[in-house]
Amino acid sequence: MQDIIIALDGYSGCGKSSTAKAVAHTLQYTYLDSGAMYRAVTLYFLRKRVNIDSSVEVKKALQDIQIHFSRSQDKQKNETYLNGENVEEEIRKMEVSEHVSAISAIAEVRQQMVKQQRALGQDKRVVMDGRDIGSNVFPDAELKIFMTADIRVRAERRQKELADKGVKVEVEDIARNLQERDRIDSSRSQNPLVKTADAIEIDTSNLNFDEQVAEVVKLAKEKINA
């Protein structure tokens, strides 16, 4: 038996976070949502109207940002805190989704987040989802998964998630946001979203949730017991 790092990367809205969370739960590993960190930075930048073209302003803002995760009262989920405030709900809103790719493309933002992510994973036994986890944050991760899914399927799933929270958004608007984020995330110069040669691709278009979790757990157990 060995402790491993599981890196779960892929396009927006493929079910990475929910899969990673369930896999971590099954293996009794820690789930770390790297996207939530970029979302928290984005929320701070929006609130403080940070000028992202000014590297002085960006650096100053980053010095004032503390992000941590903490278990919810019912222990069911890990929630994101920005300078001590629980921002878990707020960072999922469309306004943050619309700006997060541009802000996460800034070199200084990435350097700071990657440093924190590496520290969080230093003892292994983590499942971290994001865009550059296997390619940049943990290039030596024992298991790398690259998730994909048809854009229509992704948009419909996201629409349902939002509807469950009482938020009504047109499926076309969601699809447009997902595609735009994929474009920016894949084409940025700093740690773009790429499938590494050693990553295993899982297309979730025709898988249900339990199937996609089972697939990743099976692959993880092979590595843990290798």
User: What's the CA gap between 187 and 87, in Å, rounded?
Assistant: 28
* Residue 35 vs 121, nearer CB to ligand DC: 35
* Residue 18 vs 221, nearer CB to ligand DC: 18
User: What's the CA gap between 34 and 126, in Å, rounded?
Assistant: 12
Task: Count CB-CB contacts under 10 A for residue 149.
Answer: 22
State the minimum distance, in angstroms, from the CB of residue 196 to ligand DC. Answer: 13
Q: Tell me if 134 sits within 8 A of 199, measured CB to CB.
A: yes
Tokens 């692959």 map to which residue? 219
Q: By CB under 6 A, tell whether 135 contacts ligand DC.
A: no
State the minimum distance, in angstroms, from the CB of residue 103 to ligand DC. Answer: 8
* Residue 19 vs 34, nearer CB to ligand DC: 34
One of 6, 12, 87, 88 touching ligand DC (CB under 6 A): 12
Q: By CB under 6 A, tell whether 121 contacts ligand DC.
A: no
State the minimum distance, in angstroms, from the CB of residue 1 to ligand DC. Answer: 28
Q: By CB under 6 A, tell whether 34 contacts ligand DC.
A: yes
What Cα–Cα distance (Å) separates residue 201 from each residue in 3, 35, 197, 219? Answer: 22, 20, 10, 12
Q: By CB under 6 A, tell whether 39 contacts ligand DC.
A: yes
> Segment contacting ligand DC (CB under 6 A): 34-42, 59-67, 143-151, 205-213?
34-42
Q: Tell me if 109 sits within 8 A of 103, measured CB to CB.
A: yes
